Amino acid sequence: MQWRLGGYQEAPAAATSTFSIMASEREDFSLSGPMHLTNVDWKNAHHRRSAVASLVRGVRILERDRQVKRRGSQALAPPWWEFFHFQLHRQLVDDEDSSIFGAIYEFKPPESHYQNSVEERPCYVIAFRGTIIKPGSMLRDLELDMSIIINRLHEKSRFETAIQAVRNVVAKVGESNVWLAGHSMGAATALLAGKTMAKTGIFLQTFLFNPPFISAPIEWIKDKRVKHGLRIASSVTTAGLALATEKNSRNSRSVDPFATLSAWIPFLFVNQGDPFCAEYIGYFKHRKKMYDIGIGAIERLATKNALVSLLMTAMGMESEPLHLIPSANLIVNLSYLTPCQEAHWISQWWRPDLPVKSKQYTY
């Protein structure tokens, strides 16, 4: 079968042998990529977002090329980075299933492009893909998705490979020359890598597309009073459990990890119609409201704790909520995309007519 806009259609019998290496139109850069960006201005937020999202997309298609054995001129991944004058410096491979989950790109523009400000563009971008529900990567990806839900991604060998690659590149070229990026599960990997580096005083420019927020989708509730009431109740419950856990812990931390991370301000790209990441909108809005109405002390505890992590800590298991961060540049796609699956696609982030609202939140 061959993919066409609007669905699948049967391939002619005579051509069946060629379709094993064909991809959906969404994998072909000439059909689905941001072809309008013939000259990227790295100071332009839309240009920067589109280019980085394309690099992340390139990682996914690298893995798809591997899975369906597209090689040489048949490979569809290279245009996703070559269009923006990047070279593939290294693939990041999972040692469990040999799938490609990340890539290190090096920026190699023509001489004529060096007139642009060096400070506004990366030298290296380390990008991580999202989940692929295809044979060859599905089981391992779903295992890692589950580890994100229970805040155990830091224990997985894939993350160890990722953070070691980040450390090596930063040691080689310096933190100001390295950007991190990821989509969905890959955004969780980039987020954890960014947090890990930030704890050592290294703050990397980070782009997180549809990062998962592990929580009930309160943001989807239309009634503002109900939504606000549920958030307050959740904050009070979480803060109470956090306080009890801290009192019962022999190893209570004297340093506030949120204060340590507050200088790191990643870019979060979320869609209000995506249940996987929409809760980031309410997370930051609610935090501000709680301070505005004079109960910031409760929110200070609640905003850096998650019920799942608190329960795991109570059972003696180390757990730190991956998705909770002190500061961020929150960029919200204001358009509702249906079905919800489309609201989670990374392709939305290079649309030239994208309606977005941006706000910076600091701890």
Residue 19: per-residue pLDDT: 36
In total, how many domains does the chain have?
A: 1
Residue 15: per-residue pLDDT: 36
Question: Which 3 state secondary structure label does DSSP give 46?
Answer: helix
Question: Which 3 state secondary structure label does DSSP give 360?
Answer: strand
Whether residue 2 is predicted with pLDDT greater than 90 in this model: the reply is: no
| Closest listed residue to residue 291, CA positions, set 213, 359, 235, 217 | 235
Measured from the Cβ of residue 71, the count of other Cβ atoms closer than 10 Å reads: 10
- pLDDT, one tens digit per residue, over 269-290 is 999 889 899 889 888 886 666 5
Residue 279: per-residue pLDDT: 87
DSSP character for 84? T
Q: How far apart are CA 40 and CA 4, in angstroms?
A: 30
Classify residue 17: in a domain, yes or no. Answer: no
Residue 292: per-residue pLDDT: 57
Classify residue 108: in a domain, yes or no. Answer: yes
Residue 14: per-residue pLDDT: 35
User: What's the CATH code of the domain at 142?
Assistant: 3.40.50
- pLDDT, one tens digit per residue, over 116-167 is 555 578 999 999 999 999 988 999 999 999 999 888 899 999 999 999 999 9
Whether residue 294 is predicted with pLDDT greater than 60 in this model: the reply is: no
Q: How far is CA 234 from CA 223, 302, 362, in A?
A: 17, 8, 22
| Token pair of 73 as six digits | 């001129």
Per-residue pLDDT band at 335 (split at 50, 70, 90): confident
Residue 342: per-residue pLDDT: 86
Alpha helices (H) along the chain: 29-32, 45-67, 79-82, 138-149, 157-173, 185-198, 224-248, 257-261, 279-292, 296-302, 307-314, 340-343
Residue 335 vs residue 113, higher pLDDT: 335
What share of the chain in percent tops pLDDT 90?
Answer: 55
Per DSSP, the residues of 172-228 read HH-GGGEEEEEETHHHHHHHHHHHHHHTTT---EEEEES----S--GGG---HHHHH
Classify residue 117: in a domain, yes or no. Answer: yes
Classify residue 4: in a domain, yes or no. Answer: no
Contact (CB, 8 A) for 54 and 76: no
Whether residue 202 is predicted with pLDDT greater than 80 in this model: the reply is: yes
Question: Which domain covers residue 240, as residue numbers?
Answer: 38-361
- pLDDT, one tens digit per residue, over 41-57 is 999 999 999 999 999 99
Classify residue 233: in a domain, yes or no. Answer: yes
Q: Which helix or strand (DSSP H or E) is residue 93 part of?
A: strand 86-93
Residue 322 vs residue 155, higher pLDDT: 155
Classify residue 44: in a domain, yes or no. Answer: yes
- pLDDT, one tens digit per residue, over 55-98 is 999 999 999 999 999 999 999 999 999 999 999 999 999 999 99
Classify residue 16: in a domain, yes or no. Answer: no
Classify residue 88: in a domain, yes or no. Answer: yes
| Closest listed residue to residue 53, CA positions, set 152, 145, 184 | 184
* pLDDT mean across residues, the chain: 81
Residue 218: per-residue pLDDT: 64
| Closest listed residue to residue 340, CA positions, set 217, 200, 225 | 217
